[in-house]
Amino acid sequence: MTAPRRILLVNGPNLNLLGVREPEVYGTETLADVERIARDAAAARGFELRAVQSNHEGVLLDAIHAAREECAGIVINPGGLTHTSVVLRDALSGVALPVAEVHISDVMKREEFRHHSYVADVAVVHVIGEGVHGYATAVARLIAVITGQTD
C-alpha cells in the first residue's frame, strides 16, 4: 500500500493569536495565512494538507494519532508545548511518521527556557526563525524526505 499524499499541519497553543500576539516577534500574518502558505507548498508538490490548531494538548494528540492512518508526515509548531510536553513528543514518536518541527521565531535567541525542544529528537526536519514562510520550507523539506528526494 502506498502512503497517502497528505501532510498534517499541527499548530499548538496560542498560535490562533498570530497577527495579534507580539507582532514584533511573530509578525502580522495570521493562522489562516500560515495554513494557506503550507497548503500551497504541499499542493505545489502534489500533496494535500490537513491543518489543526488547538490550545488543548489532548486535541493535538488525537490529531497526531489519527495521522498514523491518514497522512504521510507531520509538520508541527508545538508552540509552548515544545519546551514542556513529553507526551506530545511521545505521540509524534509513537506514530512513526516523519516530522518537521517549525518555529516562527528563532527560539535560540529568546529566553533560556525556550532553548530546549522535546520534539527536536523525533523531527527529521527543523526550520527555526524563518517567520511564517518557514512553514513552506518545512513542508517542502518534509515532502522531500517522504518522497526520497533528499540529497
Q: Is-catalytic flag, 103?
A: yes
Sequence ranges of the binding site: 77, 83, 90, 104-105, 114
* Residue among 65, 103, 115, 126 flagged as catalytic: 103
Sequence-separated (6 or more) residues with CB below 8 Å from residue 62: none
Q: What residues are designated binding site for substrate?
A: 77, 83, 90, 104-105, 114
148, three cell numbers = 526520497
Is 135 known to be catalytic?
no
Alpha carbons 136 and 133: distance in angstroms, whole number: 5
Nearest to 22 by CA among 83, 120, 110: 110
**List 26, 115, 133, 135, catalytic entry:** 26
**Is residue 24 within 8 Å of 138, Cβ to Cβ?**
no
Catalytic residue IDs: 26, 103
